[in-house]
Every structure is written in structure tokens, then in C-alpha cells.
Structure 1
């Protein structure tokens, strides 16, 4: 399965989900395998939240959404992950809106737009394409 990474550091990665709710929907995932977010070390939890904020700011720059939403559901896979989603309304925070048929070209464009916004903001953690 192709991975479209936009961020890598020594504690976390960020990549586009394969079934986005909206353009630019990413997941912030710790490198350390932790099943439930409640079990995260507080320092790692704070780091993941900071990365989510940075990427959310890049989503605003790249896609101009009304807001950026955050979901920590934890039911899909046994590994903590934060969904960071550009939204226009609270109704957009529904996994029923996920699009598993989004095109590769659209996903590639979204990933590059996020990487460009992260680079423009001076972040060295931008993942290579």
C-alpha cells in the first residue's frame, strides 16, 4: 500500500490516510507502538499534539478550511493515531464521509501541498516524497 508521508521525526510520522474525509486528511502516528492513546507517555502525547498543531497549521495554509478537526478514535488498528482533518463544519467529522476511492493524483497533490506548506513554515521534519 503506498504511503504518502509528509512528516518524520524521531518520535512520530504523519501520512495521508487512504480513505480521507477531506483533502489533506492525515494521521499523526507515534513510532513507538502504543495501542491506546490513554497509555501514551505524557511527553509523547504532548509531542503528538504539537505535531498535529503544526500539520494543522500547514493544512490551513494549503487548503484554507474553515477549521481543522482532530479525532482520536482508536478502533481501526491497535496503534495510537490522531486524525487531523481540514473541515468546513462539524458534520465533516464523520467517518461516513471517508472516500476510499480518492485518486492517486489527488492524494499526491495533497501530500505535496502539505509538504510545501510545512517547508514554507521552516520545518525541517518534512518527509521526502
Structure 2
């Protein structure tokens, strides 16, 4: 079963990519909790993150680490929080969320509504960090 993330990987659905290699992709969340909320995924379609093979699991976290380091530069003074929830989309993914307080990563909070121009500015802010 093809997930929305698989369609993003295939280029069938547009996204705001902030990092990519041959096995992973990081892009801005379409319904962010805060500015800069980024999703990190393996390109291999796997429903649950703990179903990844050990080496693939380690490589995904290493890729997420490199993305988080760019985000730390882009959002100084904020912590980059990590969440693995896995309920929204049946494709393993890691949320990287710039936060100032715990309430910033409450998934019950209303989501931001951003324009294409705002997404592009955020994308460039992270990519250029």
C-alpha cells in the first residue's frame, strides 16, 4: 500500500525538501505545529519505525541527526525536539520540531496554516543554515 510519503518520494505530491540522500528524505510538515516542523523518513516504505532493519534504523537516525544539526543553526535558542508517533501516516517517520517550551510539541495544538511563500522561506532558512 502506497502512503502519501511514498507519493512525495516519487514526486507525485509536492513537498518542501530540506535534505535528501539516496535512502532518506526530510521535508517540512504540511500541517506544522510550529515553524520549521520537519519530517524525516526512509525512502523504503515501512509502516512502523521499529520494523526497520537495525542498520536501516541507525542510518535513519544518523540522517535525522544531520538534519537536526542544520535546524539548530537555523533556529538558535530553540531546542530541536524529536517525536516518533506513527499514527498519522503508515510510513515510518521522525518529527523534528523547533521548540521553546514543551507545549510547542503538543500534537493536540492547532496546526499552522502557511502560504507557499512562507513554506519556501522556511525551507530556504533551513537549507541555507
Under a length normalisation based on structure 1, what TM-score does the superposition of the two structures give? 0.84
Q: Does 1:63 align with 2:40?
A: no
Partner of 2:43: 31
Per-residue CA distance 1:87-110 (angstroms, 9 max, x = gap): 001221111235252222211111
Deviation, 1:65, is 3.9
Partner of 1:91: 103
Aligned partner (choices 52, 63, 66) of residue 40 of structure 1: 52
C-alpha distance in structure 1 between counterparts of 2:77 and 2:39, whole Å: 17
Partner of 2:91: 79
Answer whether contact 2:82 2:96 (CA < 8 A) is retained. yes
Where in structure 1 do 4 or more consecutive aligned residues deviate above 2 Å? Answer: 96-100
C-alpha distance in structure 1 between counterparts of 2:97 and 2:110, whole Å: 11
Answer whether contact 1:65 1:86 (CA < 8 A) is retained. no
Under a length normalisation based on structure 2, what TM-score does the superposition of the two structures give? 0.84
Q: CA RMSD in A?
A: 1.3
Deviation, 1:63, is 1.7
| Number of positions where the alignment pairs a residue of Structure 1 with one of Structure 2 | 117
Determine helix, strand or coil for the equivalent of 1:54.
Answer: helix
